[in-house]
Structure 1
Amino acid sequence: MRYASVTDRLAGLGGAKWAIHARARDLKSAGEQIIELTIGEPDVETPEPMLEAAARSMRAGRTGYSNGRGEPGLVAALAARYTARRGRGIGRDQVMCLPGTQTTLYAILRTLVEAGDEVLLGDPMYATYEGLIAQTGATVVPVPLRPEHGFRMQAADVAARITPRTRVLFLNTPHNPTGAVLRPADIRALGEVAKAHDLWIVSDEVYEDLVFPGVPFTSPLDFADLADRVVVASSLSKSHAAPGFRSGWCVGPAEFCERLLPLSETMLFGSQPFIADMTQLAVSEPSPVAAGMAERFARRAALIERQLTGVNGLYVHRPEAGMFALVDVRATGLSGEEFALGLLDRRKVAVMPGESFGAGLSGWLRLSLTQPDERVVEATDRIAAHAASLLEGVA
């Protein structure tokens, strides 16, 4: 039988990248005691007022059809939120609501690029980004994010990779997996390149509320002279510990949203009104859980750094935001995948290999910061022991 070419473009870009996480879950199901440091699952429950808002809305009959743009109350709340945060007016016609950041980015890229186009994307990158771009038929052009620059994208590296086919500069700030946060000067320089070459800027900002204490956050949406070319995406998944509700949105130029609307209607024809009501409540006031998560994740990142940097050849890159820390294991002579597989099988610790996030993290590991401190300490002890055994040539 014949299949659409998109299935070939996406082969190997889906669940295959999460093979170690899936293996860890299988081992746990079989009764193994695994310390799981793989995915970015929030370490608190969804706030009770949000759950009550969704339940109250369902009981009130808010279970019917919605529309492709989003429920009016939520659209208005998001416009107000971004007007306040970005320091300039954001209209309701600049907002679109979709189920989660992943669906939102799928729709954004489907609206902006197609076969023959190129998208500039930082390497390392979040594991699903390659697939999001490949589904359109466009080509990923990796831009190296270098440790010596704190993994922050550099304008010169972008400019060196632009061709006549380049259409989009894809940013992720705060960044997954590195935890890097772009500074105003970084965005200004990147914006000048985008303007010079008439590029769209797509910015995934789902970790905006999980920036660590003392680190400033800046969005390309802050810059009025970039307003006609910036589209940002976000959701409740991280900031409000609500990944299962799949409630996301994008903000961009009004014309972009009008172009996106028929695609949204074709894909989904609206999200659930009761989830929209819950989201409206959530975005209308500060998250009750984000600051606590940011403090805990920053503390655990510092703990991992103290426990592992300089131990048995390991090095820890300390993040500025988000849910993850990176560990360089290249001194052991293994790839990140080889190290992670051995760590799971012999030490019962599950981490993500850096190779799942692009060639730029070959020989690295990504560790989730969402387990309690004592479990993180135990995991780092096991990681150090595994590295020692490798350096000694003992399996």
Structure 2
Amino acid sequence: MSLTASGRRLALAGRSPEIDWRILTGNVPAWPTPPPWRPLDWSKEADHYPERGGSARLLEALCVRERAQGTDIGPESMIVTNGGYDALSLAARHLYDRGVRRAVCAGPILGTIARSLRQAGLEVVALDWDPFLADHGWMDMALGPEDLVYVNTPHNPTGACLPDSASRALLADRQRRGFRLVFDLIYDAFTFDPAAGGSPLAFVDDWHEVYAFNSFSKNYGAPGLRIGWLMAEPSATAELAVRLEAERIAVSAGAQERAADLCAYGNGPLVEAVRTGREVLLAWDSKHDLGLSRTQGGTQAWADLGIGDAESFADRLMAEDRIVLTTGANYFPVRPRHVRLPLGLPPDDLEEALHLITAARRRSSG
């Protein structure tokens, strides 16, 4: 298994720890001040296996969170996973066992997501977001029970959000034609455009063959916890919990306790930090025309800087300015002109990075 383009650059940077690298590859937002963090409680976090499917305390906290977004759901329709990728992998392999053979995705999608779907045995098709979703292009496709439709909203990398009208239409069409529907909601706390839609789960009346997953990595800035959650109809979550137990034994009891604390505390300061980063980037774009996509939500922005081959530009930026960027080479299908910019950095760090990137773009254009 080969490294991604970003992984290759990070490996190169790791060989020169004496250099003060500016690492812009991640899109995990940084808390301006760390949230409260209590000492380890041995009896709650370490001396037992947690319950199958997840701790009751965390599941209830997650239900409260989902209901606040309009989702009609109970703990019987959830399991706790080892992060968002784990949830997607579980769902994809579960669906393969139920006859699904193709994943049709609103793209571009992360190359690692495409790889996970292929490893589950699925053919992966990724179509551009706007024609596929905003223009309801999926309705012209021959979709049926052997297909899953994968939608990440807010979308990594473009920041597009699924309109409410498209959510309703997708769910109605799923019932008519029988395809499976998978919502990736790992950025759902970061929706900033008032015109963007709400959670698609608010429109789910029947969870049959509807799956959704989320994570503490982005929405709570806590990737080290490795906590995600997967939502589906109760019969499906029961099967998925057995699969998880057979393959992984359990999800860390201590991490689940910390996640429940964090869920109860909320992520308001983190969301505001990303909102500030978005405002910094939009202001910079208005002066320097970074070629941004719509950036309705998410923790990153997608930019066509007008520099031609983004991989060559990123290599020069690393050599000359000590900045490590994520490019469109990390996505499927590859987008050779695009770079991804993080919104969750401290504002001063983001402005400094944008200044250097803009200067490098001027040098590239001659």
TM-score, structure 1 normalization: 0.83
1:179 correspondence with 2:154? no
Q: Which residue of 1 aligns with 2:110?
A: 126
Give, in angstroms, the shift of residue 336 of structure 1.
1.8
Distance 2:81 2:304 in 1: 36
Give, in angstroms, the shift of residue 298 of structure 1.
2.0
2:256 to 272, 276, 279: 276
1:324 correspondence with 2:300? yes
Query: CA, structure 1 residues 100+297, in 2 after alignment: closer, same or farther (shift >3 Å)?
Result: same
Q: Which residue of 2 aligns with 1:37?
A: 24
Q: Deviations over 1:103-136 (max 9, x none)?
A: 1111111111258700111221123210120111
Identity %: 21
Q: Which residue of 2 aligns with 1:296?
A: 276
**Contact kept? 2:196, 2:296, Cα under 8 Å:** no
Distance 2:143 2:239 in 1: 25
Distance 2:326 2:294 in 1: 16
Query: CA, structure 1 residues 347+284, in 2 after alignment: closer, same or farther (shift >3 Å)?
Result: closer
Distance 2:363 2:116 in 1: 39
Distance 2:225 2:252 in 1: 10
Q: Which residue of 1 aligns with 2:337?
A: 363
1:348 correspondence with 2:341? no
How many pairs are equivalent?
Answer: 365
2:170 to 165, 169, 190: 190
1:382 to 349, 356, 366: 356
* Amino acid aligned to 2:66: Y
Distance 1:217 1:132 in 2: 28
* Amino acid aligned to 2:281: A
**Contact kept? 2:30, 2:270, Cα under 8 Å:** no
Distance 2:45 2:202 in 1: 38
2:309 to 328, 331, 335: 335
Give, in angstroms, the shift of residue 173 of structure 1.
0.7
Distance 2:32 2:271 in 1: 14
**Contact kept? 1:304, 1:316, Cα under 8 Å:** no
Residues 58-67 or 224-233, more deviating: 58-67
2:4 to 16, 33, 39: 16
Gaps of 5+ in 2: none
Q: Deviations over 1:177-222 (max 9, x none)?
A: 1111111012122223323321111111111112226355522321
Off by >6 Å, runs of 4+ in structure 1: none
Distance 2:238 2:365 in 1: 58
Distance 1:97 1:58 in 2: 21
1:107 correspondence with 2:90? yes
Distance 1:87 1:124 in 2: 27
Give, in angstroms, the shift of residue 378 of structure 1.
2.7
* Amino acid aligned to 1:139: E
TM-score, structure 2 normalization: 0.89
Query: CA, structure 1 residues 28+272, in 2 after alignment: closer, same or farther (shift >3 Å)?
Result: same
**Contact kept? 2:107, 2:129, Cα under 8 Å:** yes
1:252 correspondence with 2:229? no
Gaps of 5+ in 1: 1-10
Give, in angstroms, the shift of residue 360 of structure 1.
5.8
**Contact kept? 1:155, 1:193, Cα under 8 Å:** no
Give, in angstroms, the shift of residue 176 of structure 1.
1.0
Distance 1:116 1:270 in 2: 26
Q: Secondary structure at the match of 2:217?
A: coil
Q: Secondary structure at the match of 1:119?
A: strand
**Contact kept? 1:121, 1:141, Cα under 8 Å:** yes
Give, in angstroms, the shift of residue 234 of structure 1.
0.8
The 5 Å alignment of 1:83-102 reads 83-88=67-72, 90-102=73-85
